[in-house]
Amino acid sequence: MGTGAQVDLTSSGDTINTVANATNETITVSGGTINGAADFTGYLVGSNDTLNLDSNSGSSFALFNGGNTVNSSYNTVNLAEPGITDTVSGTYNTVDLQQSSDGVSLNGDYVDINSGAKNDVVAGVYDTIHDLGTGTFTVDGALNVVTGSDDQVTINGSDTLDLSHCTIDVSGNDHVTINGSDDNIIGSAGDNFTITGTGDDVQASDASITFDGSNSGDYVSGSGDTGSNWDDPSGGTGDPDPGSGYYGYGLTTWGSQKPSAAQIAKAEQSDSVYENAAWADKTITWSFANSGEGISKSITDSEQQAEVKQAFQAWAVASGLNFEEVATGSQADIEIGFGGLNTASTNEIGLTRYGKSGGNLASAVVELEDPSQAPLAKNGNGRLAYAETNATFEQVAMHEIGHALGLADTDVAGSIMNAVLGSANQAMGASDLANVQHLYAGITNEDVSTVAQVQQLVQAMNTFDAGVAGVDGYSLAQAESLLQNGALLSSYGHAHAA
């Protein structure tokens, strides 16, 4: 075969021998054997073939179907079509995954995952895997090195990860070294983590977690963890057992990228609508948080602050609790600010870390996606909303405050506590009101009126815009009339912050 040749074979078992320095060859065969000489470049269109490339010969080959085996070292192999799985036998090859949903099995090679490729699977040991874009991929195997940023990575094995701004999901019983910052690390029982970097969030139970170096902004949530040099959400530092560290978060669709079934399942990890803890006192203090310890930036914009306050007011009306705003920097029960959640890659739009002692909540830190990562702008209804999503700013605040009160994610359609925030659940639903009233029935000691009455008022509050005469069918006078109900008036009055 010479340069630019095209060979089409219809019989399985054929053997093709190429000549040295042949380029741009196209071979169409299935079940065949191709022996590539030095500096051979070309394209293989077929499946279940065996491609033998001379070691360190400068050869480069693109595969367009799956089931092939490439015997090669120090050469380049490209998987050029989506959804194909091939095996590379040899070491020190450069393997390019150019499309989505590809799979490759290999050992001791270099893997580049091209920008835009998603859901690729790399299986092997001693490989170096580099994501060139912001992809979603899985690594099966051990002793691999993974590099990249803004990725969503699933790890099944004991590997070293040089990753920042990523979501990393580890299967369990793995030894993983993570070098990077601002990662969201999801572990399982038996995992052993060594983490270098700052601003990392580890969500695991019964795992060993050690932060090597600075632990600034690092958090561990879960129970039964061991290790050293990390903080927990209740404010301790260097505590070898978090005990009281727990979390809840809100998901959303970013553009056309929906949260995965695994992400939703993790959010809905409990069959209960409760987080097994509640505040012991009727009056709960809250404040806008300073930056640091997981908070990327304080909420200082007056319009954004007003929507956060309205979210607290909505829960006050619904629950009968009193929310008292205190100055930033004070020892508040609940602190709220912006966090770098990287919604574009993680689909996470909000995160709440909370501590508890026994059955009582002790502290909570609420993070809303930082507008530097997902800009805020008014939508068609005049409400602040995150770009590329159907989630409003107040909706996310209300969902995360629900976690801070002890409510868990749910799969109930229309619920503000549904794990996925979008256009269908931008206000409280009947289930939210019933659940929070039940959770705090023992300390509010008030008739909070019926679910229907509370829902009517809360929805009016949620959609109120001071520049609009009416409120989604309610006049301002009608909304004020609803507030004249004694129980509701008491709750609403206490909800206003100083």
Beta strands in 311-468 (DSSP E): 322-325, 334-339, 348-357, 360-369, 376-378, 384-386, 420-421
Phi, psi dihedral angles at 174 (to 5 degrees): -115, 150
What does the pLDDT read at residue 236?
Answer: 35
CA-angle at 119, arms to 48 and 419, nearest 5°? 145
Q: How far apart are the first and last CA of the chain?
A: 83
What is the rounded CA–CA span in Å between residue 183 and residue 205? 17
- Compare 451 and 406 and report the one with higher pLDDT: 406
Which stretch, 4-13, 187-196, 337-346, has highest mean pLDDT?
A: 337-346
Taking alpha carbons only, the member of 38, 57, 48, 53 closest to residue 14 is 48
Structure tokens at 102: 């590809």
**pLDDT grade, residue 334 (50/70/90)?**
very high
Least confident of 65-69, 122-126, 431-435, 464-468: 464-468
Domains assigned to the chain: 1-133 (no CATH), 134-243 (no CATH), 246-495 (3.40.390.10)
Burial class of residue 211 (count of CB atoms within 10 Å of its CB; 0-12, 13-18, 19+): buried
pLDDT tops 90 at residue 405? yes
Note the pTM of the prediction, 2 decimals: 0.51
Q: Look at the block and give the residue holding tokens 């835009």.
A: 116
What is the arithmetic mean of pLDDT over 29-42? 84
What does the pLDDT read at residue 457?
Answer: 61
Residues 126-144 have pLDDT tens digits of: 778 877 766 677 887 766 7
What is the rounded CA–CA span in Å between residue 235 and residue 361? 13
pLDDT tops 90 at residue 421? yes
pLDDT tops 90 at residue 406? yes
Do the bridges between strand 94-97 and strand 76-79 make them parallel or antiparallel, or are there none, so unpaired? parallel
Helix H or strand E encompassing 441: helix 441-444
Q: Provide the percentage of residues in the chain whose pLDDT is more than 90.
A: 28
Taking alpha carbons only, the member of 204, 463, 218, 451 closest to residue 317 is 451
Least confident of 24-28, 337-341, 482-486: 482-486
Rg (CA), the chain: 27
Do the bridges between strand 334-339 and strand 283-288 make them parallel or antiparallel, or are there none, so unpaired? parallel
pLDDT tops 90 at residue 146? no
pLDDT tops 80 at residue 91? yes
The identity of residue 79, as a single letter, is L
What does the pLDDT read at residue 414?
Answer: 93
pLDDT tops 90 at residue 350? yes
Three-state DSSP state, 196: strand
What does the pLDDT read at residue 26?
Answer: 86
What is the rounded CA–CA span in Å between residue 431 and residue 402? 12
What is the rounded CA–CA span in Å between residue 266 and residue 426? 22
What is the rounded CA–CA span in Å between residue 192 and residue 195? 10
**pLDDT grade, residue 115 (50/70/90)?**
low
pLDDT tops 90 at residue 336? yes
**pLDDT grade, residue 445 (50/70/90)?**
low
What does the pLDDT read at residue 280?
Answer: 93
Least confident of 20-34, 39-53, 371-385, 483-497: 483-497
What does the pLDDT read at residue 487?
Answer: 35
What does the pLDDT read at residue 5?
Answer: 63
- Compare 8 and 294 and report the one with higher pLDDT: 294
**pLDDT grade, residue 472 (50/70/90)?**
very low
- Compare 138 and 402 and report the one with higher pLDDT: 402
What is the rounded CA–CA span in Å between residue 176 and residue 199? 18
What does the pLDDT read at residue 371?
Answer: 95
- Compare 204 and 475 and report the one with higher pLDDT: 204
User: Which residues are paired to 36 by β-bridges?
Assistant: 53
Contact 353, 233 (CB under 8 A): yes
Helix H or strand E encompassing 88: strand 85-89
What mean pLDDT is reported for the chain? 78
What is the arithmetic mean of pLDDT over 252-278? 84
Ramachandran assignment for 43, one of left (phi > 0), alpha (psi -120 to 50 degrees), beta (any other) = beta
Q: Provide the percentage of residues in the chain whose pLDDT is more than 70.
A: 77
